[in-house]
Structure 1
């Protein structure tokens, strides 16, 4: 990637961080009080995400190399692009507006534009697909642990959530079998203000889009081990991220179980993703945490506090991710081509 393009992404990230800091609706006293209560827990959850991003990067690395053959791009670069990509997405309303183009442009010099595009699309699909698998797992977990607490309203919510997740699984499995690039372009052709652009783009890039779809379909049909290993890494990353909730809640109570933390994260992520149009899902995550812990008979204040600590952790990683954009770029001679 040319330096000027990388600098544009960097500038966007810096501006987004500045906006978030200026609109952060928490006083300095509240921040310092929260960090004081967290104590050593805060650096622990910061480090925890080193491990989580290792799994995320591993899932993408496996897709890029069709397994574990490390002959295309070093793992540390994939890790760097993963962290920066998530940081850009976290600062973008609607999400997937900054991180994915950045990843494609950084990866293209190593594997070509088509392979870079298909691998990024595949990883995004895998990342979202693991969401639906995690939510389904959590619904089953709740039924096993708290079946005797079910009421008609909660049963209805779980039923609708289960149907929604099954529909998501069906959509992605169909996308893995038939490709997704052309389907997305056809969908855009139905959007009034994008219709003309989408039709022209499909006509000019039809062969390229078809090759990308072929590469997407090939992962599921011919590389099953790669597919399920990547999915397993993403799913385990979600399970491991529940440790953050466990560490924070352990400050207040010693009765919390890891299973409860899985349920809290599942409900909160489902609630927050319904508010995907907000940068960093501002407000939605905290509300989701408060409702989730309340549903498990804990004080709502635990959820608000937990959301604040996780917001600070995310801000730290956003700053680190944006900062990584300017490091480790001079060693790639190929990067001068783009």
Structure 2
């Protein structure tokens, strides 16, 4: 009702001019500029790429909830309800602080993501962002082999505040920082492994090679954050054989990728303090997570130092990420913990028990996360979605 009369003004001839075909502007109205157009309701959000996108559809939420619940039930059935209850009973009261500890880890992850979104006119409140984070990590875990189910969900859930493009940019930036924090924790674990594990030449050589490779990956990620990496990745896909069809499909999104690259480099160059604060929170979350092994040891009367726990947890996680193609990390966690407990002179059977308790904690938080899929996808309050 507003735009049609406004557009009609531009067709009126200005007094003193005889060219009726020339589009002119009345003296009573400002020229057509962004500032004038921003007065139209909703236009400012679209101009800045922050127009709220559609909320997570109920069909998608239902599909994610059903698939996640089915996989969750499969994991419970595979391990056995009786065994899970017996392990929980054996762990006793110590299982409660283990669960709370992982909640603190998710709080650090959420705080890091919200730091990335700090410059946005509106962003998800902390507890809504917390629900989205937990749901996203849970969907990643129940996605077999590739662990990519959580990021699209986070983008769709956060788009109600940021718009689709800005939400996608924030998730990409967070994922890069999350990976960088994980790599730094791996480097820390390798250094501790060189100090604490037996000095076998083959073991030391493997740790040194892993350190060099991980340090190179850290450098590449930092370079990507400084210069942008998404458009370059698209150019690389065009050069690779067998993926030309994918490259052609992504080519239509080049402008969006360029904008996301700009969002990424802007965060690094214009907000370096916030960048390193978010990275520190991600590294802190990994460091807090290592306390789980100390708590599990206390539950069975075994004293595990924090440095030992960090070496065990970091190196085990490194092996699990290297073997990412194994569905649900079946066997990789148990085998890795058995090996590192034995190398540190601890009872290797307790390594297997630690893996079981860790999986029990995983299942508990997956159940919470799948339930939060509904809460995280709910439409926010109207004023929060449209605030300037």
Work out the CA distance in 2 between the residues paired with 1:220 and 1:331: 29
Residue correspondence of structure 1 range 166-181 to structure 2 within 5 A: 166-181=215-230
2:18 corresponds to 1:18: no
Residue correspondence of structure 1 range 8-157 to structure 2 within 5 A: 8-22=63-77, 24=78, 26-66=79-119, 71-143=122-194, 145-146=195-196, 149-157=198-206
Partner SS, residue 374 of structure 2: coil
- Greater mean alpha carbon deviation, residues 115-124 or residues 252-261: 252-261
Of residues 163, 174, 177, the one that matches 2:212 is: 163
Of residues 58, 68, 86, the one that matches 1:3 is: 58
Work out the CA distance in 1 between the residues paired with 2:307 and 2:204: 19
- Greater mean alpha carbon deviation, residues 26-35 or residues 97-106: 26-35
Match of 2:261 in 1: 213
TM-score, normalised relative to structure 1: 0.91
Do the aligned partners of residues 162 and 248 (structure 1) sit closer, same or farther apart at CA in structure 2, a change above 3 Å counting? same
Work out the CA distance in 1 between the residues paired with 2:121 and 2:337: 40
Deviation of residue 330 (structure 1)? 4.6
User: In the alignment, is the contact (CA less than 8 A) between 2:101 and 2:292 conserved in 1?
Assistant: yes
User: In the alignment, is the contact (CA less than 8 A) between 1:106 and 1:335 conserved in 2?
Assistant: no
Aligned residues: 330
Do the aligned partners of residues 324 and 296 (structure 1) sit closer, same or farther apart at CA in structure 2, a change above 3 Å counting? same
2:240 corresponds to 1:198: no
> Which runs of 5 or more residues in structure 1 are unaligned?
none
Q: CA RMSD in A?
A: 2.2
- Greater mean alpha carbon deviation, residues 310-319 or residues 193-202: 193-202
> Which runs of 5 or more residues in structure 2 are unaligned?
1-54
User: In the alignment, is the contact (CA less than 8 A) between 1:134 and 1:238 conserved in 2?
Assistant: yes
User: In the alignment, is the contact (CA less than 8 A) between 2:107 and 2:130 conserved in 1?
Assistant: yes
Work out the CA distance in 1 between the residues paired with 2:134 and 2:82: 30
TM-score, normalised relative to structure 2: 0.79
Match of 1:238 in 2: 286
2:335 corresponds to 1:287: yes
Deviation of residue 29 (structure 1)? 4.2
**Larger Rg, first or second structure (1 or 2):** 2
